[in-house]
Amino acid sequence: MRDVRNTGGVSRRRALGMGVGASLSFGSGKALAQQAIGQPLIGNPALPEVPQSRMRWAIVGLGTFAVGQVIPGFASARHSRMTAFVSGNRAKAEELGSRYGVSQFFGYNNYDDIGDADDIDCVYIVLPVGLHAEYTIRALEAGKHVLCEKPMASTSAECEAMIAAARANDRRLGVAYRVHFEPNNVHVRDRIANGDLGTMRFVSGDHGFDANPDWPPHKWRLEKELGGGGSMYDIGIYGLNTSLMMVPDDTPVSVSAVYSTPEGDPRFTEVEGGLEYRLRMASGISLSGSSSYCWNPYVSRQRYFGSEGSIEMQPATTYYDNTIRLEEAGKPPSEYIAGNPIDQFAAQLDGFSQAARSSTEHRTPGEMGLRDIRLIEAMYRSADQDGAVVRL
């Protein structure tokens, strides 16, 4: 049976003529897409069983994260399975397809043909940031639900266009903030909501790594066109989004930020190498953080201080080994693990599948991605004025 969202073999996008995306300039997005020739296969994932009768997914961009984490995550998913790969490297797509039981392949040159594929319900965009908006909007206009990797897009204008396209096509749009599905972070969120730390006083997050300009997945992160921004866009956004997840009833009212890019470092001619920020929240607390492309080893640390206790997570947002250190007034500190972090990938896929199936909002919707990009844009405005306070 054909998908009723399509019009007799013509994709919804073509049937609608000029779609929402057509009104937005992607800068050089189209040109970047034409250069999207694909990259070699990195990693060697094991073959999981392919479950049936679930929401059917196409994975767009078979890079480090898709191959190493996203695709293996389907093995333990209960509501999601893969039916298509989109890649600029057909041999890699076929090799992965043979391992995972996927036999439908698209390139970037015939990407819009996904609209004619009845066995694709959801599309997962795992491309460089500069391509997120274009490929998300084209999938939405092809009648598919879209989960897009973080950060949502290069600019808030692109995020707004993505949200508009989702509304115009009555499709769900989510941003892949996996931490919202990671059991240790969910546990900490619930403890804070439960008042276990008393009244929250201060929240902070520090995230960084050492960017290697010679490694392809890092190389594009150092280019503004494909990376969108620098360390704050790519890695600092985990801290920002996770910190805000822990104080869901609070709202940022102002922000100040400074760059901490090493002087003369040749990696940072287009994007920042580091940034530190402080958000003033409506409740009066401050939420601060830092990001860097110049820290070795990798840093992923979140801290939550309340009137009656504190929690530190280090690492906080990794794939495999997040830990919780709790200190409560009058008690010895305890360090523990509340769940297996690897569960976050299947939980996120299934969460989105269920949202798409039931036409309900995903836990981390496009609006959340837009909020974060607007906040980072405000950080850049502040940092450009050497830390001046920017009202939100």
Positions marked active-site: 150, 238
- What is the distance between the alpha carbons of residues 96 and 1, in angstroms, rounded to a whole number? 28
CB 206, min distance to ligand NDP, A: 16
Q: Are the CB atoms for 223 and 337 separated by under 8 Å? A: no
Nearer to ligand NDP, 5 or 224 (CB): 224
Q: Are the CB atoms for 171 and 140 separated by under 8 Å? A: yes
User: Which neighbouring-strand residues pair with 82?
Assistant: 57
Instruction: Indicate if the alpha-carbon torsion angle 98, 181, 129, 355 is positive or negative.
Output: positive
Nearer to ligand NDP, 142 or 326 (CB): 142
Please return the burial class of 76, using the count of CB atoms within 10 Å of its CB with bins 0-12, 13-18 and 19+: middle
CB 199, min distance to ligand NDP, A: 31
Residue with tokens 């879209």: 146
DSSP type of residue 261:
P
Nearer to ligand NDP, 36 or 324 (CB): 36
Nearer to ligand NDP, 88 or 174 (CB): 88
Q: Would you state the torsion angle of the CA atoms of residues 93, 97, 99, 100, taken in this order, to the nearest 10 degrees?
A: 130
Nearer to ligand NDP, 25 or 35 (CB): 35
Count CB neighbours of 98 within 10 A: 11
Residue nearest to ligand NDP (CB): 63
Phi, psi of 359 (to 5 degrees): 55, 40
Instruction: Indicate if the alpha-carbon torsion angle 370, 376, 377, 379 is positive or negative.
Output: positive
CB 383, min distance to ligand NDP, A: 21
CB 179, min distance to ligand NDP, A: 8
CB 95, min distance to ligand NDP, A: 11
- State the residues that interact with ligand NDP by CB under 6 A: 32, 35-36, 38-39, 61-66, 87-89, 126-129, 131, 149-150, 176, 178, 216-217, 220, 226, 234
Amino acid symbol at 390: V
Count CB neighbours of 215 within 10 A: 11
